[in-house]
Amino acid sequence: MEVFLKIKNNEGLHARPAGILAKKAAEFQSSIQIEVNGQIKSAKSIMALMGLGLKKDQEFKLIIDGVDAEQASKSISDLVESEFKQA
């Protein structure tokens, strides 16, 4: 499953949102990766996410494969849309 998303928060994917995203991704059994500019990194790794250097308004592809892929896709998409505000 592939989902295209855009970073909406002003700071981009720095340490705090990367940590929130990695924690959310780790809740799922599925393989969850982010692709941007030809780089594919695990969404479950804070350091890998920060290494992508995603900025505000930058688009990326979420690649999810596994038994809970649909749930993971919705949960992570909602998190990105909310600008990484935790419920």
Output the six-digit token pair for 74: 């919705």
Q: So where are the chain's domains? A: 2-81
Residue 22: active-site member: no
- Is 82 in contact with 21 (CB distance < 8 Å)? no
φ/ψ of 64, rounded to 5, equals: -125, 130
pLDDT given at position 86: 67
Confidence of residue 28 (pLDDT cuts 50, 70, 90): very high
Give burial (CB, 10 Å; 0-12/13-18/19+) of 42: middle
Strand, coil or helix: 84: coil
2-81 maps to which CATH number? Answer: 3.30.1340.10
User: 3, 9, 12, 14: which one is catalytic?
Assistant: 14
pLDDT given at position 85: 86
